[in-house]
């Protein structure tokens, strides 16, 4: 069934992107999974092709494309079977650069957005802290007003690309009070008061996840993003796109995993029959395929509504909740299709399984998604 939202130009874009990824990214993924990080040269390759400019201003090297081009990038990266690679390569643009494009000054766009689009500089989004993940309003990293600059002290954790990056788009506390005391600013990585270390984790092995400490880090006043004390609201606004990207990524990974599982079921025999002839397994495939098709349609519909600037906070939370939980269920089932081989590292199901687990946690947990939905429905 042809999708309503994708034109022939979108399809051409998808094809050339897929060719590029198969040539420049896929051959290196196993090595990056081993090494626990992606080299900056990989980001640069995407930058040189213009993929980091999707949806951003042309005056800074971007392309005024619609949201479905961005979703194609998300889908094709997630079909390379390394959600960590996809997360690392995407968080630079869809998390960090998004804030600069939406709320950054001319100064910040010239010095960070433009070199970010060409991938000469790599950015990351630093919100979460050891004591504040779901509860963003409780962040403690302090930005003290020292006249012509801010002095930053505090720490961040779980930050994707936080070791290798060149700058942080960071949430900091500029006033004591909760929601209305948070600001966003660019913290340049070059300051000697910044220390980082990479965390070891269950999945997303190709993606570097960092702990960061800021010890008397000087940030010029012009690095403030948008208005002072408006950071919490900027973060909430940007969560809508972030959640749709996570939903789209989960569904693309699910599609890839299901195709892989189906292939295995057609090749493996038990009791002198192909596995794909057993009704129990056929019905599981049927159920997963039906759910996948419905979730894809729902998710694309919300992408379209976001693009038309409709209020989709509740729908983004619904999609993030259902798509990431679905991917978790599907990755479990696909591993099960492979029996003992599914548990072996040399088969793709193992990476699919461990990579899916973060889906219901990052970008707002499933519990927080249910809270948002319930608040919107019940009050």
Using the rule CB under 6 A, is 365 a contact of ligand FAD? yes
Q: How far is the C-alpha of 194 from the C-alpha of 219, rounded, in Å?
A: 12
Per-residue CA distances from 19 to 2, 13, 98, 117, 205 (Å): 21, 10, 26, 21, 24
> 261 vs 355, which CB is nearer to ligand FAD?
355
Using the rule CB under 6 A, is 184 a contact of ligand FAD? no
Q: How far is the C-alpha of 39 from the C-alpha of 89, rounded, in Å?
A: 10
Q: How many residues bind ligand FAD (CB under 6 A)?
A: 23
Backbone phi, psi, residue 222, to 5°: -70, -5
* In the complex, least distance from residue 268 CB atom to ligand FAD, rounded to whole angstroms: 33
- List the Cα angle 214/217/218 in 5-degree steps: 155
> 32 vs 68, which CB is nearer to ligand FAD?
32
Q: How far is the C-alpha of 292 from the C-alpha of 334, rounded, in Å?
A: 14
Tell me, rounded to whole angstroms, the distance of Cα 60 from its chain centroid. 23
**Binding piece for ligand FAD, criterion CB under 6 A, among 120-128, 138-146, 179-187, 314-322:** 120-128
Closest residue to ligand FAD: CB criterion = 133
Using the rule CB under 6 A, is 275 a contact of ligand FAD? no
> 1 vs 202, which CB is nearer to ligand FAD?
202
> Which three-class secondary structure state does DSSP give residue 27?
helix
Using the rule CB under 6 A, is 206 a contact of ligand FAD? no
From residue 133 to residue 162, the character string flagging contacts with ligand FAD as x (rule: CB under 6 A) and all else as - is xx-----------------------xxx--
Using the rule CB under 6 A, is 85 a contact of ligand FAD? no
Using the rule CB under 6 A, is 369 a contact of ligand FAD? no
**Binding piece for ligand FAD, criterion CB under 6 A, among 106-114, 219-227, 244-252, 362-370:** 362-370
Whether residue 169 contacts residue 126, with contact meaning beta carbons closer than 8 Å, is answered with yes
Start-to-end CA distance of the chain, whole Å, equals 39
Q: Which residues in this chain contact ligand FAD in the complex, by CB under 6 A?
A: 91, 124-128, 133-134, 158-160, 201, 204, 209, 358, 361-365, 367-368, 371
């Amino acid at each position: 069934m042809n999708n309503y939202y994708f034109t022939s130009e979108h399809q051409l874009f998808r094809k050339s992107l897929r060719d590029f990824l198969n040539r420049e990214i896929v051959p290196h993924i196993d090595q990056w999974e081993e090494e626990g990080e992606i080299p900056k040269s990989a980001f640069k390759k995407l930058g040189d092709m213009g993929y980091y400019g999707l949806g951003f201003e042309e005056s800074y090297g971007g392309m005024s494309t619609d949201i479905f081009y961005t979703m194609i990038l998300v889908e094709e990266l997630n079909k390379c079977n390394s959600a960590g690679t996809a997360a690392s390569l995407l968080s630079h643009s869809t998390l960090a650069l998004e804030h600069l494009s939406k709320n950054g000054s001319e100064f910040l766009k010239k010095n960070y957005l433009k070199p970010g689009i060409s991938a000469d500089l790599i950015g990351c989004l630093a919100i979460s802290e050891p004591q504040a993940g779901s509860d963003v309003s409780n962040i403690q990293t302090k930005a003290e007003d020292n006249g012509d600059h801010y002095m930053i002290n505090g720490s961040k954790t779980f930050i994707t690309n936080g070791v290798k990056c060149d700058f942080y788009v960071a949430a900091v506390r500029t006033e004591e009070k909760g929601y209305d005391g948070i600001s966003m600013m660019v913290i340049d990585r070059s300051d000697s008061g910044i220390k980082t270390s990479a965390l070891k984790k269950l999945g997303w092995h190709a993606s570097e996840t960092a702990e960061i400490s800021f010890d008397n880090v000087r940030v010029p006043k012009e690095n403030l993003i948008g208005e002072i004390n408006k950071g919490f609201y900027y973060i909430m606004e940007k969560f809508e796109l972030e959640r749709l990207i996570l939903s789209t990524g989960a569904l693309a990974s699910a599609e890839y995993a299901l195709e892989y599982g189906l292939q295995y079921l057609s090749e493996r025999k038990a009791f002198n029959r192909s596995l794909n002839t057993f009704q129990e397994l056929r019905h599981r495939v049927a159920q997963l395929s039906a759910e996948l098709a419905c979730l894809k349609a729902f998710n694309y519909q919300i992408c379209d509504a976001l693009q038309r600037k409709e209020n989709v906070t509740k729908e983004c939370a619904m999609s993030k909740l259902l798509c990431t939980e679905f991917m978790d269920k599907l990755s479990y089932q696909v591993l099960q299709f492979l029996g003992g081989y599914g548990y072996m590292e040399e088969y793709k199901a193992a990476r699919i399984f461990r990579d899916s687990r973060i889906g219901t946690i990052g970008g707002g947990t499933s519990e927080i998604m249910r809270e948002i939905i319930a608040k919107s429905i019940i009050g």
